[in-house]
Structure 1
Amino acid sequence: MADTTPSLALPLIAGGQAQKHVTHNEALALLDALVQLAVLDKDRAAPPASPAEGDRYLIVSGNPSGAWTGWAGRIARFQDGAWLSLKPLTGWTAYVADEAELYTFTGSAWMPFRATITALDNLTRLGLGTGADADNPFAAKLNKALWTALTVAEGGSGDLRYTLNKQAAGNTLSLLMQTGFSARAEIGLTGDDDLRVKVSPNGGDWFDALRIARETGRVAFPGRITVADVPVLTAQVIAGNSGPGSIPAGATRYFTNALVGGHPSVVYAAAGRRGRFRDLRVVTQGAPGAGQSWTVTLQNLFTGTALTCTIAGAGSNQAADLVNSAVFEAADRWCLKIVSSSGAQPTTSILFSLLFEGLD
């Protein structure tokens, strides 16, 4: 029969043993030292000068001195005026009072208990710096948060994608932003699968600021964009190249993208919606020549508009009209008209751009 127990090395009383109380009391003292193990500190490399009876320490120093010499990794207990060495086994846990931290013995070192946790599954609540509840089973009270990708060297892909999922189109999946726990803005899929941005002055009244249709990608601004309470019209750029068709000296031609003709009806394009053309810019391959010019005008079918610019002389190949504009109805048709002076150089591949602001 062994003299001690296998786990805590408590002394066993032998049959017919004299002074059984000595062995019994020694076992009780060891139980008192190891059960509900709590130590005062783990960072000392030498015993304190005036320990109290029952004081316990973890000796994590690799080279302890004094009465603790050779006790690295052990538990030291001051008992009956002397230090007692207790050798831990893998899995023992100790509470370190000055850190309010649990430590676990791995078989070779004492590690913070939290560092030994590698998986937490099926938690029903988790609170970081605050309490979680039934409405908010995950809650965090902090000032900064970091999500970073697992690198290839660490076994990851280097990517980071944050995935949120809702059950059906009619449900809500959003980021809700609050001030003093009163909602002020929301971004997400709110009640359908279009991406929306909404704002609120009081948490109760909501205004759609932006909506992106899931089927087409078309962007809508339900509220008119304004600057200093003046409506601002969002515009699309219409740009093109007249193509290889040549425009000789003294000629009048009409063009849109990749089309040049002698009549507007050959090249015109429909406006498609009510809107305003502005900011006409034209760039040619060369200059018309000294004393010569090319004049480009936006046409509303057969009628010229106020939007026009002229490239003149031997040193210029571009012009713009950033002042005038022209309003078109949805059914109106537009093209650009170029008038070449009688001695101008032939030109081709005219680059142009316009801004078109929807007014409907």
Structure 2
Amino acid sequence: MSELSPRLGLPFLLPAQAQKHVTHNEALETLDIVVHLTLEGVDAINPPVSPGTRQVWALGAGATGDWSGNDGRLAAWMGDAWQFITPLPGWCAAQGTTLYVWDGGTWQIAAPDSLNNMTGIGINASHDAVNRLALSSDASLFTHEGAGHQIKVNKASASDTASLLFQTNWSGRAELGTAGNDDFSLKVSADGSLWQEAIVVDAASGVAGFPAGMTVDGTLSGTAVTQTATDASADKLLKVGDFGLGATTPPAVTDLTTALAPGFYHVPDMAAATGVPTGQTGGGTLLVMCAAPAGATFLLGLPVATGAAQGFWLGSRASATGAISWAKLWTSANTTVDANGFLREA
């Protein structure tokens, strides 16, 4: 028969044993240490200078001094010497309000007093040194608590990466965020190795770029495109038909003395229009070739109709608005069209 209990190694009282109280007290002292076990420190390696009686430390690897050679054991100060006890897997101990469990190799936090400074959390998954928060689930929900809600991804410096990475079978396919600088970008990959930047938003200007190009199948609208057929605002996209470009019927204009942007225009009735050459009737086509603030240049096509003169007039003025000086280039009155379709002087 063994003289020690199988689990805690408590000494048994033996028949005809002298001073049985010594053996009994030794067992009680061990029980006094391990029952409702409390620790002064976890993974400790250096013995304290002035330990308190029956204070206990859980020793880590590389214990020194009086603790040397007792790595992984419990060290209890009995008032005049250290007592070492080997914990068994499943033993629990408290340090303050934090509960630890001995797994046979290390003391693991079992029930912390808060969720701060935990080594990791795995929800239906196992966390690791890099992915300290791991979740395996059909979906994840982040919602508000009465107002808005933000998800923050913070990096140490501009040269680091703060992004969302989308994968297929653990191979990257799309990444959204700031990678290597503070410009916001979206890049994609077909194989996880070769990446293409689709969108890059400059951090300083906010201007978006499309390094790989852009396809727009819908209609562009908004203030970034021309708002009317004669909208001459700077830095706008020109719609088909504006200023007569690509239009079946160019925009109508009745006053040529006003400021006109370059483009094609239609003069519905030159007899009622302002600024046209004198004596002209019917409709005409106007090409504004130059409309700089310092002046303007025009080419006016006379109407093509039965009994009406045909031809072109060249006009100019020294300022952006005002009267136009016209010079006749040619009219059907002094030219003919030969068999090859060329204009010749009559």
* Larger Rg, first or second structure (1 or 2): 2
Q: Which has the higher contact order (CA 8 A, sep 6+)?
A: 1
With normalisation by structure 1, the TM-score equals 0.38
Bigger fraction of residues in strand: 1
